[in-house]
Structure 1
Amino acid sequence: MSIFSKTCEYAMRAVFFIAHKTTNNNRVGLKEIAQGIDSPEHFLGKILQDLSRKGIILSAKGPTGGFYMDGRTLKQPLSAVVEAIDGDNIFVGCGLGLTYCSESNPCPIHHDFKRIRTDIIKMLKKTTIEEFNEDLVLGNFTLKK
């Protein structure tokens, strides 16, 4: 089970993979990214185009082209990826998906979910892509199932 959509999961894994592979000013192609994160190539291509349009990752066309990240894009919080793909519902939505849920009219899981959501928001907004990348470089994390 995941709190993120499948699209967002692939987006986050792809961003981490790109960050990891482009630390030495390299660029990485769609095929390598898809293989590196066990993602369908065609589906991932659409995700990467969207992330590139939104400035989360960078891309270059041509024989030496591909996807990459620079100092600016690496400094973005992971929340930028989540918001670019899934919007801000994880930050404000009801855990049961109800539209009427609020502090004055809570759903059955409102208060517990609010505490969990606060921790998730803190992690997503305060941790940069670069910080996650440091652990990838050290081999502390994996991107394949």
Structure 2
Amino acid sequence: MFYTLAPRSSHTFNRNFSPAAGHGALEKFLSDTLSGLADASSAKAASVEDEETRYSLQLDVPGLAREQLSIDIEGDVVRVTSKADAPRSVKAAWRFPLEIDVAASTAKLENGVLSLSLAKKIPVSNVSQLAIQ
């Protein structure tokens, strides 16, 4: 059985959830989940395409300049965040099946759309032959 969260406006949820017994972890989970749903309506539009030698990622970031964005790549994880002086906050991360070759990747910001061309790092075999004596 599969479950999916339906996007609803934040005013349809009762945020004053107070169970009879105090369960701090449950309250935190519900609070985080409900506030996440409220933010889902204003979520940034992103698209990812898996091509033969690279991944193409496009993220809508209207109103931000390239100096206000930071793109961090660590192995197979790509993070896009806005800097502290940016007029709006952006935080997004993606994990890809293969590691990213940073040297062969590019980023371009045009008309409020951040376009990343992320080259796939070709796995190299590190197998060595050991001579038998």
Q: TM-score, normalising length from structure 1?
A: 0.23
User: Which structure shows the bigger proportion of residues in strand conformation?
Assistant: 2
| RCO comparison, higher one (Cα < 8 Å, 6+) | 1
User: Which structure shows the bigger proportion of residues in helix conformation?
Assistant: 1
Q: TM-score, normalising length from structure 2?
A: 0.25
